[in-house]
Structures are given as structure tokens and as C-alpha cells.
Amino acid sequence: MLAGKRVLLIISGGIAAYKSLELIRRLKERGVRVRCILTPGGAEFVTPLSVAALSGEKVYRDLFSLTDEAEMGHIQLSRDADLLVVAPASADILARMAGGLANDLATTALLATNRPVLVAPAMNVRMWTHPATQRNLKQLKADGILVVGPDEGDMACGEYGPGRMAEPAAIIAAIERHFAAGAGADRPLRKLRALVTSGPTHEAIDPVRYIANRSSGKQGHALAAALASLGAETVLISGPTALADPEGVKTVHIESAEEMLAAAEAELPVDIAVCAAAVSDWRPAKPAGQKIKKAGGAAPSLALAENPDILARLSRPGKRRPKLVVGFAAETENLLAHARAKLASKQCDWIVANDVGPKTGTFGGDHNKVSLVSAAGVEDWPALTKAEVAARLAQRIAAQLTETPKAATKQKPKGKAR
């Protein structure tokens, strides 16, 4: 049930930090994306390298790091997660959280977040039972902070009593309880299957050359992750990209349009299909079995054959048609006219139209400005990151599929409709 979730783990100073490495592993095994903030105190107990290696992500350490801010601002870091977990949570960080301080990256993220927070306190027994810590804990609980542990037992400092950090298994159980409690609202697409195509296709000319395009796959991969995070059992059919497979998503790697179609059809039936791939419209009609040599003659001409249209095939009326089929229209001119024409010719339900002209930076970039085109009209969305477009589209899909059919047909597009 944790697959596709995103956890921001804050590791503060304490000997129990070694257990956080185990926690990262256990979360990753469950398909959770784990980003970590390591406080200076935490870094005295575990190395940034171990945290990075286990999480497979960059480790964030410094509030004033220009590199970190350029990659992901601290506000976004605090919100680009479904849950913040502080483990171990030292007496000091609990005190600063209770007081609303924001004097380093960890406490700034905790104060700036709009996400739930779970703390796993770990400290010496006297520090734990001290009235100041108990006062802070009361305040944190009143603020809605979730708490797991601490356990009672022998402590690393030689004393006995409460203060030992909860075991990783218990922290995971607390995380699962949290998500299970919010499952209805948080995972509206659970029980539904989603298929996403992403990236370019490569069409072989000969064993070493191919026809391709500039698609990075960023938008399609972000969509697969967003659908999975809303609970959909998600399959991503990906052309060749430089991106990692999204957590919690079954990823099938293919090269050509024909392979993409076969892989997509093998996954049917699905409830949702989103075709974000930039499929090559043509392929060399007869790829050469051996590398084509120059051989001193004229340049060879390339006879092309048309590729199958995966979006149109998936949209074909019939028993296996997904309930909702969404296509993209990558255009360099007359965006909306082309998008409307594609909606009709491919028989899909929605088209996400985006301008991919060279000046927009959409291909390969991290931002996208799209319009959602459907029978109900056109909605222009503001310029957003590709992750935000993905999250918004996934929410719209969830709203469409979880509303009663009657209400859905009456639904008016939000935003500027034309």
C-alpha cells in the first residue's frame, strides 16, 4: 500500500540514526520514494554517502546551498512529499519544532510544509522524561504531529527506560496506519489500472542507426508516478530515455512504435490510458540487416512505412476500450485547431495540447504550459512544472472516474473555457 508514496525523511542527531538507514531500505523495498535531509548532528552518526546510496537520491543538508535551491527550493522539498518523517527526532529538534523555529534546513522544511509529519523520538531517558521535552511533545501532538515510540529498554548510553527509537518495522507500521486512515481520500484511483506511454521511439535504419525525436519522457514518467500515487496500479511503457523507472510503477522498456503497441495491448484491459509518448510516425520500411556502407555511391534513400497509431488503437470503440483515454498533441503552430482535430480523428476523450516549438523549451525541459481539450471545451492551464501538470491531470482523471456518469457529463470545465 506504500508503493508510489513519497517520504521526506529528516535524520537528526542521535545514535539511533543508524536505524534510519534500515528504515530507508525498508521503505524503498515497498516502492516508496525517499528523499532525505541530514542535519549536521545526524551527519555525525551516519554519512551522507550511506544515505545517498540507500535512498538513491541526493541528500539535502544545507539551507543556504545554492545548488540545492537551484535543483529544488526548500519549500518545494517540504511539499514534494506525501509525509515527512523525523527519525530519529532528538530532544533538540522536537523543542525547535514545538517553538516554531526555522534555523536550519530541517526545521525550515518542517515549518514550511503543508504535509503531515510523523516523529520517532530518540534520546536519553532523562531527556525524554524531562518536563521540557514532555511539554514540547504535548504541544506537537496538539499541532497534529504524529508520534511513534519511543520504546523502553537498554539504551546506547547505558541507562534503561523509555527513549529508544522505535524499530524501523514499527515506524513503517505507523506510516502504513497513517496512509490507510487517509486511503479513501488520498488514493481515489485504487482498484483502477492505468497505462501510460512515454518517451520517444527509436526506429531502426540498420543495426546502428535509427530515427528518433527530442522527447525526454519527463512528462509521461511524471504522469505514471502521479497516477500511482493516487493508488492506480500503473504500467509505464517507456521508449529509450535517460530517466530512472518511477517508484511503484511497473515499467516496460521498448524501442520501436510496433513494440510499444504490442506492450500496450498486452496490458489491456485497463481503466485509464494516457499516451504521452512521442511516437515516431514512420519507420524505415525495410531496416537493413547489416550496417549500410557508404561504398562510394550516391546517398541511399530511405523508404518509410507508417507506424501504427497507439492512441487511436486504444481509443477504438469496443469491450476493451479503457474508460478514459487521454492523448497529447505536440504542436509547433495552430495548437488548439490541431488538438481539436486530433481529439476527433483519434477518438480519445481528452487531448493535452502543448506547444513544443523550439522557443518553449518544452522538449527536454522541466516546465510545460498545456491546454486540456475535451468535448466540453478548452481549459488553459498556467505554466507549471511537468510534475505539477502530472499531479493536476491525475487529479482530474480521478475526479472524472469517481464521479457518477451523469454528473461527469454535466461537469463544466474549470478555468477559462472556450
Residues 173-202, mask of contacts with ligand CTP (x by CB under 6 A)? ------------------------x-----
Distance between CA atoms of 185 and 81, rounded to whole angstroms?
A: 16
Total binding residues for ligand CTP by CB under 6 A? 16
Shortest separation between residue 351's beta carbon and ligand CTP, angstroms: 8
| Contact call for residue 370 and ligand CTP (CB under 6 A) | no
DSSP result, 323-358: SEEEEEEEESS-HHHHHHHHHHHHT-SEEEEEE--T
Shortest separation between residue 16's beta carbon and ligand CTP, angstroms: 48
Distance between CA atoms of 256 and 199, rounded to whole angstroms?
A: 11
- Using CB atoms within 10 Å of the CB of residue 93, give its burial: 0 to 12 exposed, 13 to 18 middle, 19+ buried: buried
**Nearer to ligand CTP by C-beta: 271 or 355?**
355
**Nearer to ligand CTP by C-beta: 21 or 257?**
257
**Nearer to ligand CTP by C-beta: 87 or 353?**
353
Shortest separation between residue 117's beta carbon and ligand CTP, angstroms: 39
**Nearer to ligand CTP by C-beta: 249 or 261?**
261
**Nearer to ligand CTP by C-beta: 329 or 393?**
329
Q: Which residues of 384-395 are buried (b: 16+ CB within 10 A; e: fewer)?
A: ebbbbbbbbbbe
- Site for ligand CTP (CB under 6 A): which residue of 86, 91, 97, 329? 329
Shortest separation between residue 338's beta carbon and ligand CTP, angstroms: 6
Shortest separation between residue 260's beta carbon and ligand CTP, angstroms: 8
The active-site residue out of 36, 157, 275, 348 is: 157
Distance between CA atoms of 17 and 20, rounded to whole angstroms?
A: 5
**Nearer to ligand CTP by C-beta: 217 or 248?**
217
Shortest separation between residue 383's beta carbon and ligand CTP, angstroms: 20
Interaction residues for ligand CTP, span 223-282 (CB under 6 A): 257, 275, 277-279, 281
DSSP result, 106-146: HHHHHHH--S-EEEEE---HHHHHSHHHHHHHHHHHHTT-E
| Contact call for residue 328 and ligand CTP (CB under 6 A) | yes
| Contact call for residue 373 and ligand CTP (CB under 6 A) | no
275 noted as active-site residue: no
| Contact call for residue 222 and ligand CTP (CB under 6 A) | no
Judged by CB under 6 A, which stretch of 69-77, 133-141, 288-296, 326-334 contacts ligand CTP? 326-334
| Contact call for residue 400 and ligand CTP (CB under 6 A) | no
Place of cell 499541532: 143
| Contact call for residue 217 and ligand CTP (CB under 6 A) | no
Report the greatest alpha carbon distance in the chain. Answer: 89
* Residue 240: DSSP 8-state: S
| Contact call for residue 83 and ligand CTP (CB under 6 A) | no
The grid coordinates listed for 77 are: 522539498
CB 9 within 8 A of CB 35: yes
| Contact call for residue 322 and ligand CTP (CB under 6 A) | no
**Nearer to ligand CTP by C-beta: 17 or 273?**
273
202: closest CA among 187, 217, 190, 188?
A: 217
Shortest separation between residue 34's beta carbon and ligand CTP, angstroms: 31
Which amino acid makes up residue 86?
A: V
* Residue 151: DSSP 8-state: E
Place of cell 481528452: 350
Residues belonging to the chain = 418
Interaction residues for ligand CTP, span 277-316 (CB under 6 A): 277-279, 281, 307, 309-311
- 3-class SS of residue 81: coil
Containing H/E element for 35? strand 33-38
Give the active site residues: 157
> What residue ranges bind ligand CTP (CB under 6 A)?
197, 257, 275, 277-279, 281, 307, 309-311, 327-330, 342
